[in-house]
Amino acid sequence: MKVLILTLLSLFYSGTNCFSQSNKLNDEFSFMFYNSENLYDTENDSLTNDDEFTPGGDRRWNFGRLRDKSNRLAKVILAAGKWNAPVLVGLCEIESQKVLEMLVKQTPLSKYGFKIIHKDSPDRRGIDVALVYRPELFKPFDYKAIPVIDPLNLKFKTRDILQVSGVLHNCDTLHVFVNHWPSRYGGLMETMRLRRLAAGVLKKSIHDLLSIYPKAKIICMGDFNDTPEDESLFKVLNATKEDNPTIQGEMINLSFKWMNYQVQTLKNRYSWLAFDQWIVSDYFMKSNSCQNLLKAEIFDAAFLLEADKKYGGVKPKRTYVGFKYQEGFSDHLPILLKFQMVNN
C-alpha cells in the first residue's frame, strides 16, 4: 500500500508544472489553509520555548525529521490541489523563514516557484503564521503583522494576525487575513477571553479596511481554536451563517456546515471540531468578472487519517504519537476554498 501511495504521488509530481498550458482560466483553482503542527527548525532559540524540538530535546527533532515532514506537507498541498497547486497557502505553527524556505524550495513544491510572506511573532513557543503564494497568479502589494495585545496582561504573547493585500491574476484585489488564535490550553472558560480579544483585533482590522475599500473582497483563514458558533466568531466577529442580501458588508462563515460532518478539522478524544475555517466578506461571494466562488471544503483524504484505537473511528495522522515519531502529517486536516477564474 505504501508503495502504491508513493507511486501515485510521483505521478502527481511528474505531471505538474508552473501554471502549464493545461491550466485554463475556467479550471478549478483553490486557496488552502493548513495547521502544519510544529514545523520547527532544529536550532535552539534562547528567546522562545522550542527546546523539545531540537536534536537534544525530548522529541529528538533533527534535520532528517524536518526534511521528512517538509516533504510530507508538500505532498498534502499538491494532493489537495490535484493537478493544480493552490494559488495561496496559509500556514500556522511555522517557526521560521528557514523552514518555509525548505518547504517551498527543497520539496516537490519547488517547481511552482512559491514565494513567502512571513514575520516572526512574539509567541512564547516561537510559532508564527505565514502565507506562501504562486507569484504568476497572485501579486501582493502590501502586508503587515497585526499584534494581539492583552491590555490586562502586557506579558501575554501570542501569534500576530497576518494581513496581505494583492491582485489575483491581474484582475481582482483580495485582502487575506491568516489567523492562529490563542489555544484552549489551560481550560476553555479560562482562555475564552483571549479568543474574544483576537476576534476584536480582527474585526477592527476588517472595519479599517472597509473604511478605505467599502467593497473589499476579504478572506479570513485560520485555526481559530473555536467553532463557528462560539462567541468569539459568531458574536464578536459577527461572522454569520448565511449571507443576508439586504445587508452589505457582512462577514460570512463558510464553515458552519462542517459542524455536522462526521470528520471535521481536528479531533479531541471522541469529538471532532471545526477549528479551521474560511470566513469571507459578502462582496467576495458575489460572482464577478474575475472569479466565481465554488465551495469551501475539508481535505480529508484517507492517507491523512488513521484508525483511532482508543476513542473509535478515525483521527488525523500526526507527526508524533506522544514522543514517538511516526510517518504522519499534522493533528489538523487542511481546508480548501475552491473557485474558478474568469477570463478577463
Whether 13 maps to a domain, the answer reads no
Whether 8 maps to a domain, the answer reads no
Handedness of CA 263, 265, 269, 271 (dihedral sign): negative
Whether 289 maps to a domain, the answer reads yes
Whether 1 maps to a domain, the answer reads no
Q: Pick the more confident residue, 191 or 7.
A: 191
Whether 6 maps to a domain, the answer reads no
3-state secondary structure of 111: helix
Question: How many CB atoms within 10 Å of residue 340?
Answer: 16
Count Cα atoms within 13 angstroms, Cβ side, for 338. 15
CA dist., res. 76 & res. 338, Å (int): 16
Whether 19 maps to a domain, the answer reads no
Strand locations in 20-114 (E): 28-39, 88-94
8-state DSSP, 331: S
DSSP string, 157-216: --PPEEEEEEEETTTEEEEEEEEE----TT-HHHHHHHHHHHHHHHHHHHHHHHHHSTT-
Confidence of residue 169 (pLDDT cuts 50, 70, 90): very high
| 155-181 mean pLDDT | 96
Whether 97 maps to a domain, the answer reads yes
Domain that holds residue 272: 26-341
Q: Could you give the percent of the chain with pLDDT greater than 70?
A: 92
Whether 7 maps to a domain, the answer reads no
3-state secondary structure of 156: coil
Give the pTM: 0.92
Residue 97 has pLDDT above 80, yes or no: yes
CATH number of 81's domain? 3.60.10.10
Confidence of residue 10 (pLDDT cuts 50, 70, 90): very low
pLDDT tens sequence across 182-210: 999 999 999 999 999 999 999 999 999 99
| Number of structural domains found in the chain | 1
